[in-house]
Amino acid sequence: MADPKELSRIRTFLATVGWIEEPLSVSFLAAGEYNANYLVESEAGRFVLRINHGSQLGLGGDQIAYEYKVLQALDASGVTPRPIACHPDPEPLGGGALLMNYLPGDPLIYERDLERAARIFARVHTVPVPKGLVVQADPVMDIARESKGLLDRFAHHPLESEGRQIRAYHRSVLELADRTRSLFADEARCLVNTEVNSGNFIIGDEGDFLVDWEKAVESCRYQDLGHFLVPTTTLWKSDTVLTPAEKNRFLRAYHRDACPDLDFDELVLKTTVMEKTILLRALSWCFMAWYEYTRTDRPLQNADTFAKIEQYLADIPWILKSVT
């Protein structure tokens, strides 16, 4: 439950900036690892106020303005939140703020919604990419480099065995990057979300949407496709591990909607390479976040997230064998 003082501060802020006409009500909606979201209701409709508390891209105080720019670029897709206003200054809410429209619906259910997810990705990946985004032109190496930074963030990490396992896998991904670089050398880049767990999809009668664009980058489509399919993503908010048949069903739907002229076997090959790469990033983030949760005064903490972090770090051998 939200702190009444925080809700009062948000109401005062909204009255000051004049984004929404009063009267209005504010209630806590949800929080991720780096943002807290509040539902704002008024006669003009329902909105989401998003308050930022950190950046996975190393953008510091520019993080919320970055996400706002991404949402502006994606507005024409019809499958993302519509951005309304942005307040980059961390005062008075303790972080930059973004206002967007509220999207009703429920989280994605893998067994039911694979084709709907494919259509969302197809719409997103055809949007013109705005200037000024973080670029990952060499996706395997760029993710390996990002993962190394996560692994090295905290010296003297107590999980020594887990760290050795992930670092050994990091070395294998560096080799994978060398072997597969030519695959992606001429690949057209698009806007990709990179955080596509089932909770970031909204499936509803008014449409299907993908939310949470804080970590969007300019890269190849296969980042999103690989990330969507790996078990570290599917298990994050559900109990699902996709079967080979389900993965094929999703990729067939995406191929049909987004790139029917592309050789399907090429699509599968590049997606599999990125699946192997995304596993490294997922485990590296868990390794880093475990330390933040247990050794630092982290601004946002979630018991379910920490339980999942511990589950993944206990299951490293299985996770690394999950993509072949």
Instruction: Dump pLDDT digits (tens) for 172-221.
Output: 999 999 999 999 999 999 999 999 999 999 999 999 999 999 999 999 99
Residue 148 has pLDDT above 60, yes or no: yes
In contact, 64 and 52? CB cutoff 8 Å:
yes
Numbered ranges of CATH 3.90.1200.10 in the chain: 110-320
CATH 3.30.70.940 applies to domain 110-320:
no
Q: What is the pLDDT, as a whole number, of residue 270?
A: 98
Q: What is the mean pLDDT of residues 80-105?
A: 97
Q: What percentage of the chain carries pLDDT values higher than 70?
A: 100
Give the mean pLDDT of the chain: 96
pLDDT band at 292 (very low <50, low <70, confident <90, very high): very high
pTM of the complete model: 0.95
Own/partner contacts of 267-272, CB < 8 Å, gap of 24 or more, are: 267/222, 267/225, 269/183, 270/183, 270/184, 270/187, 270/220, 270/222, 271/222, 271/225, 271/226, 271/229, 272/226, 272/323
What is the CATH number that goes with domain 4-101?
Answer: 3.30.200.20
Q: What is the DSSP letter of 128?
A: P
Residue 127 has pLDDT above 70, yes or no: yes
Instruction: Dump pLDDT digits (tens) for 245-265.
Output: 999 999 999 999 999 999 999
Residue 285 has pLDDT above 80, yes or no: yes
- Is residue 252 packed enough to be buried (19+ CB in 10 Å), middle (13-18) or exposed (0-12)? middle
Helix (H) or strand (E) holding 175: helix 160-184
Q: What is the pLDDT, as a whole number, of residue 1?
A: 54
Q: What is the mean pLDDT of residues 75-80?
A: 97
- Is residue 245 packed enough to be buried (19+ CB in 10 Å), middle (13-18) or exposed (0-12)? exposed
Three-state DSSP state, 5: helix
Q: What is the pLDDT, as a whole number, of residue 32?
A: 84
Q: What is the pLDDT, as a whole number, of residue 296?
A: 83
Numbered ranges of CATH 3.30.200.20 in the chain: 4-101
Residue 34 has pLDDT above 60, yes or no: yes
